[in-house]
Amino acid sequence: MPAVAPSPGSSPLRAAWTSASIAASLAVTLTGALTLHAMGRRLWCACGSWSPWSWDIWSRHNSQHLIDPYTFTHVLHGAVYYLLLWAVCRGRWPSLRAFLALTAEVVWEVVENTNTVITAYRESTIALNYSGDSILNSVSDVGAFALGYTGAIVLPVWVSLAGFLATEAALLLTIHDSLLLNVLMLLHPVTAIKAWQMGR
């Protein structure tokens, strides 16, 4: 997607989410959903319940409905990606950065649902019964990511940082997991941390 220079006086939000970047992002999200379908992912939870959320990370409903505790980690993804791309691009090409960030999130949603990564989650984290995401859960995660990215655009840095830390703390207290802890356990499992997470 070509980088479109923001018009003079345009807001940071409009500079990032132009009509072109929104259309391209929706196309990438749809492509990701179709890819997950081709991989054999279910559209929705096999339980048949159409409740939009599930809060029990130990149940078969986790990652199968629209919203679950890990939805909040995808909001944090958005803030982190915004910061990284802003630092790399020195604030230039806002619409291209938004598109690249969302594309990276969609790619992760696909990779996350491969057998290799599902097995890694089961072996290294507390997601012992993780069987992948439903397609609509993945699409919802991309939406949560876009919300986090947009929040990082419009909020002061200190508010974004405070929100990040508060979300991490809330997740640690409620489900014994968080974005940073999940990344750590996936890349370098720590037995003592896993035991604490599982209440041992």
| pLDDT at residue 200 in the model | 62
In this structure, are residues 113 and 184 in contact, taking their beta carbons and an 8 Å threshold? no
| pLDDT at residue 1 in the model | 46
- Rounded Cα gap, residues 101 and 107, in angstroms: 10
The secondary structure of the chain in percent helix, strand, coil, rounded to multiples of 5, reads 65, 0, 35
Q: Provide the CA 26 distance to its chain's centre, in angstroms.
A: 16
| pLDDT at residue 128 in the model | 79
- Rounded Cα gap, residues 166 and 160, in angstroms: 10
The model carries a pTM of: 0.92
For residue 131, what is the enclosing H or E element? Answer: none
Give the pLDDT means over successive 10-residue stretches in the chain (200 positions): 50 96 98 98 92 92 95 98 96 96 98 95 87 96 98 97 98 97 95 90
Q: Which two tokens stand for residue 49?
A: 């319940």
User: Hey, what long-range contacts does 48-51 have (CB within 8 A, 24 or more apart)?
Assistant: none
